[in-house]
Structure 1
């Protein structure tokens, strides 16, 4: 905790002093999560009124000015993402140059709550998806929490084959990704399929190089890759091994997994071990690869090379999620729990498929929904209706990628958070 506090002092207080020292004139400070919230205390110190100008009962700081300079984005409803520090530690380590009564009023009576501090000293506050904003308003009653849904950077996440395809049929897509809305009418079906198969072959080559698993380019491939932790439920797909075996007997299926656990997340490490056990249980029935040393390069190969992107978080803990957005830029539809961005992006059977509903459904309902969608919707469409499958791929691009991109996201921040 002491080390963490020192880190956040360097980020918040050190960061604002560094920018000032090198000559930046900052008109807006954007705090992403509460980790940088100590910058607001530095601003309070900077905008303190001279003591001789104060009257009894007045705030010693220009709070409206500090709030005008700050906006705050909360990124997670998970408790571990909201740092709290004991005031004894705070005064021992940093000796705040802010009145103790004011500090406790802004950051919490019993401990320094970084999220609370950011909320109280920001004029504009937002969550990273519509549902996440609703959850945040219930977590922090009394605060107005807006919604700006996340987006991903097109050029970073589009694979080479689709980049060339978009260059040919949707010029300027990289700078104006909203033009991808034309994908469903302006790109030939065969070109979409060929671009995807090229990306799939590249992923299969990477899997072969990194593991002993040999995948078949003609078999539907599910992809799941992210930080391995309990609320992401990476093991949900493997809840009923016998049911999976039955599915694979009807329609061939293969799976590619990747992801790391936080060094201190013992539960996450146990999940990785459990996934490897499931791989052994399904050996000879469903080929499964777990790619080591998950990084950006592997992530890019996965979101472009699999046929379906799987995401199974525990509601309502997925604030947004962005891996599924990255997949849509490569024509890969999502099969996901309705949480985070997918509540907004899912048009059932058009852009992909929902697992369960948007309520707080239990794990049992989600498991049954997942298997039902695979058995009755996803697998039959892939193997029996190539034209219908490509239509879903095109819709993922035209209806998801054209909207869930960083360009749209940044326009929203500029017009709503930065220029008020």
Structure 2
């Protein structure tokens, strides 16, 4: 099929929708999309960000469509054995209870076999009445070879061959499915990370001739990580076993190397490339020697992550904030007593959950510090335990700790990190109470980010491309206590929106700096600033809560992210928004 680009760039969204209410001009491809806990097709931040972006697009009437894989067995359900070592089991869920199966089917060639793909539909209903369709690709069909049926079973599962086949399903199969569904007017294919990079190969096949410039006209690419392990690389000797000879010939022409870096594929064949914070864009420009990489700092979907009580409080005092989160700058005038009461209600809801699930009784009047994210070693979840004697001296009877997060099934380092934290809880339990909540989900993430008093974040610089959990906290009046990396460089004002850990970022400390400085600074800030403010200066504490909402919550949201993508990457404009 000849690829026929449409010429609508520069027109407003309203103009496009008036011409055709079903018009979609942007297709958003993501290996994972997190919509809600009962659809377990996400592992962490990347997928939840994708879901938040599509939710804001629906709220704002942006003509988008989402593409991902189904993952019938999810990412995994986390459990712990008697040695506190993480174990995994498949997530049992029923797609037919959440999604609508469609009759459309397409076929792709993998390992000289025809692999049939079907799709399921979920529609995100926006606050304005507009909806965004998300299509979940599924290879678990009787007509497929048993191995091919499993390609849509596990998110980030299997060996390199499994990942390669999945990414062909997403990039090539995803585009073919869109065409079969009738989406022939899409102008922009947005690759959320490099997993869908083979889409550019399929665009080339559709055109029927080799024209990299024409492909670049229709692709934009968001890179999410400066960590090498986050960039998939497939050697041609492996690709040769999977792709057809025609596709392989074209791909080798596109990437004349010993293999394909999916990030390089995205960089080479996109008209617009961005990192997910200002600092990440700077790092990426150096890492990839690509001076044109821009930045669109991540955000969160406000009404997904705000607590019920906070939503009512904000709506009462800042009408219209849900549609225009920029109005949250007015949070500076929120009544202090109401704000504190709403936060305490969220905190008590979290503590009740902990008591019910673990039997551990935490106290609502104790400073509660939260750390919940993917358990990777570079995130240093155990930094706060660097000096247990010092921690107990500072925090005995004054702080309590809540941890959560999954390690990748093959990441023994991440599993060992969790084990160390859980074992540490037994060592300090007489002085400082701590819990590790298993099986971190979106719903649990909501409870934690809404209910803690402080959000701790301690990654090795510069590996935190952005981070979004701290943004969810800020919207709920929870201050960040974080290493200056990712989004926090942009959101941090010391003693105003939160606190920094360690030295300020500079060109000299991008890849190596004295890690011990972070632990020392963490203890000093905790002892001299945070604990005294919480217990002795409630007025200042609540003022900082207001600042977090007004200065961070009003900016770090996906309504702003969508506007930036429309203006910088999609070439469509808003009128009256």
Which residue among 184, 197, 200 is the counterpart of 1:37? 197
**Which structure 2 residues correspond to residues 173-322 of structure 1 after superposition, within 5 A?**
173-185=321-333, 187-249=334-396, 252-322=398-468
Q: Distance in 2 between matches of 1:406 and 1:310?
A: 22
Q: Deviations over 1:86-109 (max 9, x none)?
A: 102112201253473x63454351
Partner of 1:85: helix, strand, or coil? strand
Aligned-partner Cα distance in 2 for 1:140–1:202: 45
- Counterpart of 1:356 in structure 2 is 502
CA contact (8 A) 2:382 2:417 kept: yes
Change (3 A) 1:105 1:242: farther
The counterpart of 1:64, out of the listed 198, 209, 213, is 213
Match in the other structure for 1:159? 307
Q: Does the C-alpha gap of structure 1 residues 108 and 162 become closer, same or farther in structure 2, counting only changes over 3 Å?
A: farther
Q: Shift of the alpha carbon at 1:402?
A: 0.2
Number of the residue aligned with 1:144: 292
Which stretches in structure 2 are left out of the alignment for 5+ residues?
1-159, 573-577
Q: Give the drift of 1:307.
A: 0.3
Q: Which residue of 2 aligns with 1:388?
A: 540
Counterpart of 1:131 (choices 251, 274, 279) is 279
Q: Assess if the C-alpha contact under 8 Å between 1:8 and 1:35 holds in 2.
A: yes
Is 2:525 the counterpart of 1:378? no
SS in 2 for 1:142: coil
Structure 1 gap ranges (5+):
50-60
Give the aligned partner of residue 168 of structure 2: 9
**CA contact 2:346–2:450 (8 Å) conserved in 1:** yes
Greater share of residues in helix: 1
TM-score scaled to structure 2, two decimals?
0.69
Matched, 1:95 2:244: yes
Instruction: Determine if the alignment matches structure 1 residue 77 to structure 2 residue 226.
Output: yes
| SS of residue matched to 1:152 | coil
Is the 8 Å Cα contact of residues 107 and 114 (structure 1) preserved in structure 2?
no
Which residue of structure 1 aligns with residue 98 of structure 2? none
Deviation (angstroms), 1:350? 0.2
**1:224–1:256 contact (8 Å) kept in structure 2:** yes
CA contact (8 A) 1:108 1:116 kept: no
- Please provide the CA RMSD for this pair: 1.3
Helix, strand or coil: the match of 2:292? coil
Q: Is the 8 A contact 1:137 1:144 kept in 2?
A: yes
Contact 1:333–1:396 at 8 Å: present in 2 too? yes
Query: Which residue of 180, 184, 187 maps to 1:27?
Result: 187
Q: 1:167 to 1:62 in 2, by over 3 A?
A: same
3-state secondary structure, aligned to 1:174: coil
SS of aligned partner of 2:241 = helix
Query: Taking structure 1 as reference, are residues 387 and 75 closer, same or farther at Cα in structure 2, changes over 3 Å only?
Result: same
Cα distance change on mapping 1:114 and 1:342 into 2, 3 Å: same
Q: Using the alignment, how far apart are the partners of 1:108 and 1:169 within structure 2?
A: 59
**Is this contact kept in 2: 1:150–1:322, CA < 8 A?**
yes
Deviation at 1:396, TM superposition (A): 0.2
CA distance in 1, matches of 2:290, 2:474: 36
How much does 1:172 deviate?
1.3
Distance 1:235 1:105 in 2: 46
CA change 1:240–1:62 in 2 (3 A) is same
Q: Equivalent residue for 1:411?
A: 563
Q: Taking structure 1 as reference, are residues 252 and 333 closer, same or farther at Cα in structure 2, changes over 3 Å only? A: same
Whether the aligned pair in 2 keeps the contact of 1:334 and 1:353 (CA below 8 Å) is yes
- Equivalent in the alignment of 2:128: none
Matching of residue 121 in structure 1 with residue 269 in structure 2: yes
Kept after mapping to 1: 8 A contact 2:284/2:290: no
